[in-house]
Each structure stands twice: as C-alpha cells, then as structure tokens.
C-alpha cells in the first residue's frame, strides 16, 4: 500500500513515442499506485518526466483518487483525453473511486456502473472501494468489446474482497451477457495479506472461465525488502483469453525503464505496474 494518496492507472498502448513504444492498435491495461508529486515532490527532472511519458503512450487511464498535480494527470499526455467523471452520480467523484479517462479516438465506453455490495452504514458491504465497472468498445483489437473490473483491496480484508470478485463477475455476466472481463488492480494478493492457506476459498481462483495472468511468483513491489505479487490481472471469457498477446502479461519495472535509483522509484510508487496486451485486428 502506498503511503498517502495515490493514483491507480490502467491504460492502453497506442501512442508511438519512446520509451514505451507499442503497436497503435494494441490495448494495454496497467494497474499501479502512483504517488502524487504534489505531496512527494520529485528531486530531479528525470523523475518529473516519468509519469507524463508513462501516460503519453496509453489510450485509456483509470485514476484512483483524483490527482491534484498536473504531472499525474492524463491532461499532460498527448491526444484527445475525455474524463469519465460524469459517469459517476451527479458528477461527484468519491475519494476512493476508480474512474477512467480515455482517448476517444481509440476506445469508447458502452456502459458503466458502480457495483452495489450492500449497505455501507449497516456495515454489511464487502468492498472498502466498490468497483466502478466499465464496458469498452475497442475497434482496433480482435476482441471488440470487453469489461474492466478494477479492485483496490483493503489489505486486512484482501481475501474476502478478492473472493467477492466472483459475485462481481456473475453480476457483470447477468447484466451485460458477456464474460469477456478483465479484473485487475492492487488486490494485495500475496504475502501476509493472502496466504497459501486462503487461496482455496477464493472462488475466482478456481473458476475455469478465468485465467490469472500475473503468477504468485511475480514481484510487483518496488522495495528491495519485499517480494509480493500484490497486483494482479485476471482475464475471463474465451474470446478475451484467446486474444491476449502471448507472453504480454508482465510486471513493468519502471525503475529500469526510466533508469531511476530505488529511492526515486519509491517516490513515484511502491508498486510496479502490471500489463497485458490484446492482439490487434
């Protein structure tokens, strides 16, 4: 868990600019907490450029907790960005909401809703941050429509929240008649938060329709004192799974990409992004 406020990014490749050059019709999803520079000022121009460059090669960006500094906003990236905050009730954006922005020339939104997990005042709800679910149209990829379900799980309730994703999956299937779904984000799905003894009781883990693309052996943490696969991507549905570029699901080590010292990388985030690419048409 990053200290203080953070941004959760998921994105899509398409902008032909270094250092993360991607085919213009590949769609890529990246969940990772990013420290806001407004609260943790970077100490070098190199670090200041990291997030804008990272955003610049993405076509859809999902932001957890609206940023208060332009360096962590898609507005600094090139392209016709369209914020989707208006999709939230009355345009109000809860502090812990997962709301996307996107490049309207690459992808479009077919529908969206917050998952209702129960009565918050009653204490019967499951998620500390209810998933904001979005159905996308992506005409440049082989799978033309799919759904993204983000999750930023509370560490102390990670097993329960990850297990509840099965109910979210079922809800999406019943609502939109599709199981081409990507569930992704900071699940806190490893080490002391989710132990090996707890995995058998997590229903999504054994669901035949779904594949966990980031293995338990991965390390999505920046610190050299941890080795945990906290961040995950789960792909469901035959069409979506078949259209994932083989070997593309990976941990993006931005520390190496931007040649950062570890202390500078930690100033950006305490997690590395995880990525997957969908095949181009």
Task: Give the CATH number, domain containing residue 192.
Answer: 3.60.10.10
Q: Which residues of 156-190 are buried (b: 16+ CB within 10 A; e: fewer)?
A: eebbebbbbbbebbebbbeebebbbbbbbbbbbbb
pLDDT confidence band for 199 (50 / 70 / 90): very high
Residue 57 is predicted with a pLDDT of 42
Indicate the pLDDT class of residue 27, thresholds 50, 70 and 90: very low
Highest-pLDDT range among 49-58, 86-95, 218-227: 218-227
Q: Is residue 219 part of a domain?
A: yes
Question: What is the dihedral angle through the alpha carbons of 50, 52, 57, 58, rounded to the nearest 10 degrees?
Answer: 110
Residue 147 pLDDT: 93
Q: What is the pLDDT of residues 200-248, one digit of tens each?
A: 999 999 999 999 999 999 999 999 999 999 999 999 999 999 999 899 8
Checking if the pLDDT of 32 tops 90, the result is no
> Is the peptide bond prior to 19 cis by the omega test (within 30 degrees of 0)?
yes
**In a domain? residue 109:** yes
Q: Which of 60-74, 93-107, 127-141 is predicted least confidently?
A: 60-74
Phi, psi angles (nearest 5°) of residue 195: -90, 165
Q: Is the pLDDT of residue 20 over 50?
A: no
Helix ranges, 89-184 (H): 158-176
1 located within any domain: no
Question: Considering the domain boundaries, does residue 69 fall inside one?
Answer: yes
Q: Which residue has the higher pLDDT, 20 or 76?
A: 76
Asked if residue 220 belongs to a domain, the reply is yes
Q: Does the residue 234 lie in any domain?
A: yes
pLDDT at 41: 42
> How would you write 34-83 as a 3-class SS string?
EECCCCCCCCCHHHHCHHHHHHHCECEEEEECCCCCHHHCHHHCCCCEEE
Domain range enclosing 121:
6-278
Smallest Cα–Cα separation from 274: which of 159, 150, 168, 97? 150
The two tokens of residue 64 are 């957890």
pLDDT score recorded for residue 54: 45
Residue 46's pLDDT band, with cuts at 50, 70 and 90, is low
- Tell me what the mean pLDDT of segment 138-156 comes to: 90
Work out the pLDDT band at 279, boundaries 50, 70, 90.
confident
pLDDT value of residue 182: 92
In this prediction, residue 106 carries a pLDDT of 67
How much is the pLDDT for 105?
A: 62
Beta-sheet strand order (sheet of 132-137): 108-114, 132-137, 145-150, 181-186, 231-236, 210-212
| Long-range contacts of the stretch 248-253 (C-beta < 8 A, 24+) | 248/28, 248/275, 248/276, 248/277, 249/213, 249/214, 249/274, 249/275, 249/276, 250/274, 250/275, 250/276, 251/214, 251/218, 251/219, 251/220, 251/275, 252/20, 252/30, 252/32
The mean pLDDT value of the chain amounts to: 72
5-16 pLDDT, tens digit each: 222 233 333 332
pLDDT over 70 (residue 97):
no
Confidence (pLDDT) at 209: 98
Q: 33-42, 51-60, 136-145 — which is least confidently predicted?
A: 33-42
For residue 257, tell me if it sits in a domain.
Answer: yes
**Quick check: 121 and 97 in contact, CB under 8 A?**
no
Q: What is the pTM of this model?
A: 0.75
User: DSSP 3-state assignment of 229?
Assistant: coil
- Structurally, the chain folds into a number of domains equal to 1
* 62 lies in some domain: yes
């Amino acid at each position: 868990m990053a200290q203080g406020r953070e941004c959760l990014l998921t994105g899509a490749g398409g902008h032909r600019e270094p250092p993360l050059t991607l085919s213009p019709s590949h769609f890529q999803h990246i969940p990772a907490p990013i420290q806001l520079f407004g609260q943790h000022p970077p100490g070098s121009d190199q670090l200041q450029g990291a997030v804008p460059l990272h955003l610049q090669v993405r076509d859809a960006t999902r932001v957890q907790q609206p940023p208060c500094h332009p360096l962590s906003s898609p507005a600094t990236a090139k392209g016709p960005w369209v914020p989707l905050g208006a999709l939230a009730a009355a345009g109000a954006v809860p502090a812990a909401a997962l709301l996307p922005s996107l490049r309207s020339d690459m992808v479009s939104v077919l529908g969206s809703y917050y998952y209702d997990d129960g009565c918050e005042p009653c204490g019967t709800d499951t998620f500390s941050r209810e998933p904001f679910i979005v159905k996308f149209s992506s005409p440049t990829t082989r799978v033309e429509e799919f759904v993204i379900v983000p999750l930023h799980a509370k560490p102390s309730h990670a097993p329960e929240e990850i297990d509840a994703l099965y109910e979210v999956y079922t809800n999406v299937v019943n609502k939109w008649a599709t199981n081409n779904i990507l569930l992704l984000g900071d699940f806190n799905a490893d080490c002391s938060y989710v132990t090996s003894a707890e995995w058998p009781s997590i229903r999504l883990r054994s669901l035949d329709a779904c594949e966990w693309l980031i293995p338990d052996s991965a390390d999505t943490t920046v610190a050299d004192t941890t080795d945990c696969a906290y961040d995950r991507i789960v792909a469901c549905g035959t069409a979506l799974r078949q259209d994932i570029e083989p070997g593309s699901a990976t941990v993006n080590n931005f520390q190496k990409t931007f040649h950062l010292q570890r202390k500078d990388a930690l100033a950006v985030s305490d997690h590395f992004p995880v990525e997957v690419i969908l095949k181009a048409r």
